[in-house]
Amino acid sequence: MRNRDREAADQDLCELFGEIEQLADSAEIPALVTKMLDIYGLKTLAYLGAGVSDRHTEGPYLAVTYSSEWIERYKAERFIEVDPAIRVGLHRMLPIDWSEFDRKDGRVRRLFGEAGEFGLGRHGVSLPVHGRHGDRAIVSITSDATDRDWRHLRLHYIRDFQLLALHMHQAILRLEGGGSVEQAALSPRERKCLQWISEGKTNWECAVILGLSERTVRFYLESARHKLSAANTTHAVNKACRASLLSELP
């Protein structure tokens, strides 16, 4: 890449950072994703985030440029159960080139075969993001570049999208309310009760373990739910875990 090309690319990257920081509504995310697609000449771009929303009934957060037909096909065939971009990518720290995926499994081969038919590119990279409060995300990009061009372009893409993925994830956390629980919100007793509930104990078992009455345990759990603005105890446990309130107990 010539110096002038690098300068132009760096300028585009800086402008994208600025636009991400200025996002005021989640509804603006799809347009930004599409703009990234155009700037980088990619075939597709997808963001999948887990634990990014304060709304416990929400599933994973998606912002994708895939066709609606491919999304429906993906769901109908339950490809998420075998998709290595999800199963492997979400547990890795470093970017992973899709050429590294083991395709011995017939369903995995069919997934990638059908993905190509529905408009995904010949090459792909997935870039994981691991948040501080248990939130995770993965940004996957695909390209129809030739094999020769891809060897060069993938390094450029990985450099930029590691940064873009982090900034985008932080913006979505901010807009969706994830990871907003204050560390000092809960008392030690409230945290202890939530911790034992998170480990599968009943209210009665918590009472026995902590030397309290079952009524007192219910009081602490109700107080914790109120402080965390949680709909129920399961939601309170989820929010407390995401904010690392339970992992720091002695």
**In this predicted structure, what is the pLDDT of residue 176?**
83
Q: Which residues contact 102 (CB under 8 A, 6 or more apart)?
A: 84, 108
Residue 120 has pLDDT above 50, yes or no: yes
**In this predicted structure, what is the pLDDT of residue 1?**
44
pLDDT tens, position by position, 52-94 = 876 555 578 899 999 999 999 999 999 999 999 998 888 888 9
Confidence at 44, pLDDT banded by 50, 70, 90: very high
d(CA 231, CA 84): 34
Instruction: Determine the average pLDDT of the residues in 10-36.
Output: 91
d(CA 59, CA 146): 36
CATH 1.10.10.10 in the chain is located at 183-242
Which of the residue ranges 108-112, 121-125, 180-184, 196-200 would you say has the lowest mean pLDDT?
A: 180-184
Residue range 3-176, CATH number: 3.30.450.80
CATH 3.30.450.80 in the chain is located at 3-176
Q: Are 161 and 127 in contact (CB under 8 A)?
A: yes
- Residues of the chain above pLDDT 70, percent: 90
Residue range 183-242, CATH number: 1.10.10.10
Instruction: Determine the average pLDDT of the residues in 186-198.
Output: 91
Which of the residue ranges 6-10, 153-157, 246-250 would you say has the lowest mean pLDDT?
A: 246-250
**In this predicted structure, what is the pLDDT of residue 247?**
65
Confidence at 184, pLDDT banded by 50, 70, 90: very low
Dihedral angle at the C-alpha atoms of 36, 93, 137, 64, nearest 10 degrees? 40
pLDDT tens, position by position, 213-239 = 999 999 999 888 878 877 788 888 887
Instruction: Supply 99's token pair.
Output: 């050429």
d(CA 149, CA 132): 36
Mean pLDDT of the chain: 87
pLDDT tens, position by position, 139-181 = 999 999 999 999 999 999 999 999 999 999 988 988 887 655 5
